[in-house]
A and B are shown apart, each in its own frame.
Chain A
Amino acid sequence: MPHILTRSLDRRATIFLAIVATVGVLLPLSNLLLPDTSMLHVPTYLMTLFGKYVCYAVLALSIDLIWGYCGILSLGHGAFFALGGYAMGMYLMRQIGTRGVYADPVLPDFMVFLNWKSLPWYWQGFDMFWFAALMVVLVPGLLAFCFGWLAFRSRVTGVYLSIITQAMTYALLLGFFRNDFGFGGNNGLTDFKDILGFNVQAEGTRAALFALSCLALAISFLICRAVVGSKLGKVLIAIRDAESRTRFLGYRVESYKLFVFTLSACIAGIAGALYVPQVGIINPGEFAPGNSIEAVIWVAVGGRGTLIGAALGAVAVNYAKTVFTSGVLAPYWLFMLGALFVLVTLLLPKGIVGTWNAWRDARQATSLSEDARSAAFEDGAVKPHMAE
């Protein structure tokens, strides 16, 4: 198993994983152990903020997996993210128990004041963590499976697929807004108390959630690498580049697409589940089509089809959002976001990582031709391996 996961790791992937691991360990430790006054102390505010970024990075990975490697542009991936979030939110709501404002042992607050008498069937079971955790993966996965089964089988592709994924998330948005749906309507689920017995607002819990998010990022990265590095991954790329040709070669294109779409939805669900306890609220706003489109742009900024780029793009764009939505620049944030969309697609079609790759390849190519030997020795990747 470790072999499959690590086989396709190149140097950059290793560095990426190492950074994720270091950040995932050092930041929580610094937050918990170092005194407030220390230069290196990371305040809790930053822990939550970074935790959010990391969850977005996982979502971006899941989008890159299908868009970058299989050419499926989903404009509704926020839906899977939100569904995972809702599953986690329902668990957290059930954990509140009698500590809700109306002290009802079973019903969440929003049901009490709207006169619900009993818990709807779909809320059953969410008091158990294992069940909720299963649902975090299962619900988005199942939706993606059904949706993909219908869409891919009838060969809905390209722009059409993008538009109907958008319709899907829009329909879910409208549905979850309805109070009768039983998910708290517009206000969503909030005011969480604890998770697995730990107070969600405690610094320790936050640190642990951050570490877990980093772990999730690392694991999903490994899974994605494994998928794209395998033979399956090659077929996916073939589908991306020439779908009809791949089909004529005898591959069942829709099965490949369905698999990777479902996997991607599951990863998005996990990202959502980790996101909810850290930001403290899940509401239908997460289903808004605009959110899903924004997530796609993270991938485009970082570089589609690079995985690392997707994660970096998510962090970079959200960091910019944090910076530019305060202070004097506040009213101009949308101008900047909009310009980012336009400029990246026009000038950096391969994204940051992709462009850097291209630039490095070009440089390598020239230096290799000039002095192949010395260049090869300087770069670790080309070093001869004695161990084999």
Chain B
Amino acid sequence: MFFNSDVSRRIVGRIKRAGAILALSVTICSGWSGVPAHAASFEDDVALFAARSFADSETAVSHLQVSGNPLAYPIISALKDGRLYADEDSKKVFIKGTDSKIVDAANGQSVATLPDSASPVRLNNRLRRTIDAALGSLTLLSPDVAVRIQAAQSVFKNHEESSLAPLDAALRNETNDTARKALAAARAAVVLFKTDASEADKLDAVATIKARGDQDALALLSGLPGDASPAVTRAATAAMTSIKGNLALWSTVQNAWYGLSLGSVLLLAAIGLAITFGVMGVINMAHGEMVMVGAYTTFVVQETIRTSYPAAFDYSLLIAVPLAFVVAGAIGVSIERTIIRFLYGRPLETLLATWGLSLILQQAVRTIFGPNNREVGNPSWMSGAFDLGQITITYNRLWILCFALTVFVILLAMLRFTRLGLEMRAVTQNRRMAASMGIATSRVDALTFGLGSGIAGVAGVALSQIDNVSPNLGQSYIIDSFMVVVFGGVGNLWGTLIGAFTLGIANKFLEPVAGAVLGKIAILVLIILFIQKRPRGLFALKGRAVDA
């Protein structure tokens, strides 16, 4: 067996996770896979990458996977990351390490520089799947549990016969429960699709997969080849029915979660409006643009971090939140001081003036940042998803929900326990009386408007994580936020909370039935009708101040 210990040590050292067990894994692969070593040499296989054809690369990967050569793993993982370079003329293939060191893939020797004619080996999805399968069986013995589970998952999907031996080896050594389950399911998948497995084994496999009970299990079972024995087919059908029933139940939970998540977005967008509209009676059509300002602040923060302190990227949002609050709040206060304070008592005129402002702000952003979308990235703690039972919960949605509720609670506490909150409530209830008691109403107005705008800016930070950051961002939320506030009732934050979640959940339960467009129309019509019943929303303010 080809084994250059010196070289392998050098390369192996670079692979963080696969680490020391790699050699063991490779030995297992080659020893037990049962696939005879094919005729072509390792060098010839590697040279296939230089042929620039997807089919040849695929052959090369599947040969490398079973070659037992310690270079196989570095080559395949380099290919996956686009670090594998091939020179078409000399048929030479190079690995560019994560530390930018160049290694000749055929023999593992260091090379000073890449030849000019070398370019990355191209990938397509089919090749990527082959790579995933290969890496799956190569990393089944990784010391990292997460990597092992992922490997098991990829074997589960690809269910190639060659993975059976490494799977058995892995199962024997496995101590972690979750990983064990994943491995067992993967093994069941392989057995189920193995043509020469016994019927009893296959029935066992169906039972194991049924226990898994998720979408992937369903996918696997429904992909069962038609030539399976009647008993297996019957068991599979029964398993599928049970999984489907289970999933249908879960889908209701899923819809409710989606509704909560949409509701939290609506809450964030509307809560600032509830303050300005509810407390001051000012219809701020430029509210959406404050959200946009917050989103662009996030963009600027991220851009600065990207260029100056790339390591701090995960903290970008934490920096952006207070900054967005300050920026949007400052814009809000200046709008109030220069325009809105001259328009108190004329709500309809305020509406027109702020609409004009929204046009100006939009076009200003378009002039400064350009009309295109701007990239705002998700920090790592907001990317991806986890499974809760049979539903998938994405981290960004979960964080946004938590964030929306936090903002809500802080705002509520502020209104209740701070001096400004007290003054704000006083002004809401009876402006003239409050003024007579010595409250500087105009200062309260300015601060309230600034607060509302600042909250909108903070909402923009959250929305930048799920939506476009473009000059049109604000407009797409303005109508929805008005609906929430009007539906919930003006002047009551609880109304906004309940309004937002009701509309969100109603929308998400209507959407699968009526489709996205009709669902939205239905919601609008329902709100119009609801307003007829309760002209001042769910939680209406009572008293004389209302009809002023």
Contacts and interface: CB of A to CB of B under 8 A. Distances in A.
B111 interface: no
11 contacts: A73-B351, A150-B532, A151-B531, A160-B486, A160-B536, A164-B486, A171-B521, A174-B524, A175-B521, A335-B363, A342-B356
B483 interface: yes
Given A168-B528, A334-B363, A341 B355 contact: yes
Interface residues of A, number: 44
Interface of A: 73, 147, 150-151, 153-160, 162-164, 166-168, 170-171, 174-175, 177-178, 244, 289, 293, 296-297, 300, 331-332, 334-335, 337-342, 344-346, 349
Contacts of B343: 345-346
Contacts of B486: 160, 163-164
B367 A331 contact: yes
Contacts of B285: 293
A342 B352 CA distance: 7
Interface string B517-537: 110110011011101110110
Interface residues of B, number: 43
Contacts of A170: 479, 524
B356 A339 contact: yes
Interface string B344-356: 0011111111011
B352 A345 contact: yes
A218 B146 CA distance: 78
Nearest to A171: B524
A174 B532 contact: no
A160 B283 contact: no
A159 B353 contact: no
A341 B547 CA distance: 27
Q: Is the interface of B mostly helix, strand, loop or mixed?
A: helix
A334 B359 contact: yes
B360 A244 contact: no
A321 to B, nearest CB: 13
Across the A-B interface, the 4 shortest Cβ-Cβ residue pairs: A341-B356, A338-B359, A338-B360, A334-B363
Interface string B133-148: 0000000000000000
B352 A293 contact: yes
A341 to B, nearest CB: 2
Interface of B: 281, 283, 285, 339, 342-343, 346-353, 355-360, 362-364, 367, 479, 482-483, 486, 517-518, 520-521, 524-525, 527-529, 531-533, 535-536, 547
A160 B540 CA distance: 13
Nearest to B533: A154
Contacts, number: 121
A158 B347 contact: yes
Given A154-B531, A297-B352, 5 more contacts: A150-B529, A160-B536, A163-B482, A293-B285, A346-B353
A174 B523 CA distance: 12
A296 B285 CA distance: 14
Nearest to A289: B479
Central interface residue in A154, A171, A300, by most chain B CB within 10 Å: A171
B479 A166 contact: yes
Contacts of A177: 517
Interface of A is mostly: helix
Nearest to B286: A338
Nearest to B361: A338
B322 to A, nearest CB: 29
A276 to B, nearest CB: 24
Contact of B349 (A150, A151, A349): A349
Given A335-B363, A338-B357, A151 B532 contact: yes
Contacts of B346: 349
Contacts of A160: 486, 531, 535-536
Nearest to A158: B347
A171 B351 contact: no
A339 B520 CA distance: 33
B363 A164 contact: no
Contacts of B518: 178
Contacts of B352: 293, 296-297, 300, 341, 344-345
Nearest to B519: A174
Contacts of A340: 356
B356 A155 contact: no
Nearest to B347: A159
Contact of A171 (B357, B359, B525, B536): B525
A164 B528 contact: yes
A345 B353 contact: yes
Given A150-B532, A177-B517, A167 B283 contact: no
A300 B352 CA distance: 9
Contacts of A337: 356, 359
Contacts of B531: 151, 154, 156, 160, 164
Contact of B348 (A159, A171, A289): A159
Contacts of A159: 281, 283, 347-348, 351
- Scoring A159, A289, A293 by chain B CB atoms within 10 A of each residue's CB, the highest score goes to A159
A346 B363 contact: no
Contacts of B347: 158-159
B527 A164 contact: yes
Contacts of A244: 547
A221 to B, nearest CB: 24
B517 A154 contact: no
Contacts of B533: 154
A80 B353 CA distance: 24
Contacts of B528: 147, 150, 164, 167-168, 171
A156 B530 CA distance: 11
A296 B350 CA distance: 13
Nearest to A165: B528
B349 A338 contact: no
A288 B240 CA distance: 47
Contacts of B358: 338
B353 A162 contact: no
A242 to B, nearest CB: 11
